[in-house]
Structures are given as C-alpha cells and as structure tokens.
Chain A
Amino acid sequence: MGDTMSNLGDAFAGESQANRKYLAFAKKAEEEGYPEVAKRFRVAAASETVHAHAHLKVMGGLNSTAENLKESVGGENYEHVTMYPGFMDIATSEGNEDAHFSFFAANEAEKFHEKMFAEALADPANAPAKTFYVCEVCGMTYENETPNACVVCSAPKSRINEVA
C-alpha cells in the first residue's frame, strides 16, 4: 500500500475498471435472460462511477476544460501512435488474432478521438456543433453521418448510435 495520492490513483483505476466490467456483465446477464441480475450489475456500476469521480476529484485530476482537452489529445495520441501499434505487433507475433483486432479497432477510433478533441481545444467556447455516433460493436466513432456499415467492423448502420 502506497501513500494516499498513490492509493487514490489505484482506487480510481480500480473503480473505473469495475464500472466497465459490471456494465459488460450486465449486458451478458441481459443476453442470458437474467434481468434482475443485470440490474444489480448496473446498480453497482453506477455506484462505482460515483466513487471513481470522487477519487479523481480529490487527487486533482479534474482541471479546466481546456486543460482536460489538452490531456485528452495527448492521451489519445499516445494510444494510437505508440501503445496500440506496439500491442498489435505483439498480438501478431503471438498469433492472437482476436486481440489484434480488438487493439486495431480501438486504435482506429483513437485517431478520430484525437482530432475531435483537438478541434475543440482550438476554441472550446466555439467548438462547432456536430452530431457524433459510436459503433456499439467496435467503438469506431463518426461525425455528422454514418456509413451503411462500420468501416472497422462492418456492423450495420443500425448499430451505430448517436451519442448526445
């Protein structure tokens, strides 16, 4: 166990991961016909989100919107320039096709995310009004219009949803 700032970081990471994991568990429970179990996972996920946000705030991870955008541009850039390409190379060398495609799909979306944040960072108060969509299968992100099928995973247009 480290000092409190280190523990806040660990707690934020753990609660964030639990939130995502519980939402995935809830989706699986719904698919398997257990709506009351799914509800419990969603409840815990919502609670973990509150915990994660509280830890992030206390550890000083919430700054001005301009600073948050700058951090996000850097994070997305790192992911698609360094992290995911390296992960894809390793997955290929290990013959893990599923992991490679999962990394590839994320990498394609991160490129868009960097541009999306960078555009807003240029002038946050006057970020152009756009409509954004996310593919619920692979996470690919689109602005203003969507293709007939996702350009990364070929999911049909009906599974590319607007995010307000």
Chain B
Amino acid sequence: MTRVPFAPEEAGRCLCGECPSKPDEMKSFYCARGKSTAEVARRGCLCEECSVQIDYNLADSYYCILGAPE
C-alpha cells in the first residue's frame, strides 16, 4: 500500500464526487486528504471501483470516515 499523493492528476480520477455517501461539503478525495469533518451516512462507497484505489493498492473503503490510509 502506498500513500496517495495530494496531486491534481489523482484528484481528477477520484470518484468521491459521485458517491452516494459523500456529505454536502466541498472537500473530497478522502483517501489522500483525510476524513470528512461532516457526519457521513453509509449509503454505499465507490472507492473499491476507483482507479486511485487500485493503483495505490488500497484495501479499505469509506476513507471519508476512516481517514487517509497511512
């Protein structure tokens, strides 16, 4: 597992913006930027099908709740 860099090319591949669980906030790309400061209701997670997740060998989901993997 590699830490996801906080880079525009990676943010541009992130699927969080389309996620049904994403809280109403500007912040996104939680696997790099860390967890949301808002309350998140689990309504499904798109991380497992995200190319960022695959390329960086991430194993979890709901980074909006868990925070960025170390």
Chain A positions within 8 Å of B, measured between CB atoms, are 97-98, 101-102, 105, 137-138, 147-156, 159
Q: List 18 A-B contacts (CB under 8 A).
A: A97-B37, A102-B26, A137-B26, A138-B26, A147-B12, A149-B11, A149-B13, A149-B14, A149-B17, A151-B9, A151-B12, A152-B8, A153-B26, A153-B27, A153-B28, A154-B16, A154-B17, A155-B28
- The interface bits of chain B over 4-21 (1 if a CB of A lies within 8 angstroms of the residue's CB, else 0) are 000011011111111000
Is B29 in contact with chain A by the CB < 8 A criterion? yes
- The interface bits of chain B over 30-41 (1 if a CB of A lies within 8 angstroms of the residue's CB, else 0) are 000110010000
Q: Which B residues lie within 8 Å of A151 (CB)?
A: 8-9, 11-12
Q: Which B residues lie within 8 Å of A153 (CB)?
A: 11, 17, 26-29
Is B25 in contact with chain A by the CB < 8 A criterion? yes
Which size bracket describes the interface of B in this complex?
A: 10 to 19
Chain B positions within 8 Å of A, measured between CB atoms, are 8-9, 11-18, 25-29, 33-34, 37
- Ranked nearest first, the 5 interchain pairs of A and B with the lowest CB-CB distance are A151-B8, A154-B14, A147-B12, A154-B28, A155-B17
* CB < 8 Å neighbour of A159 from B14, B16, B17: B17
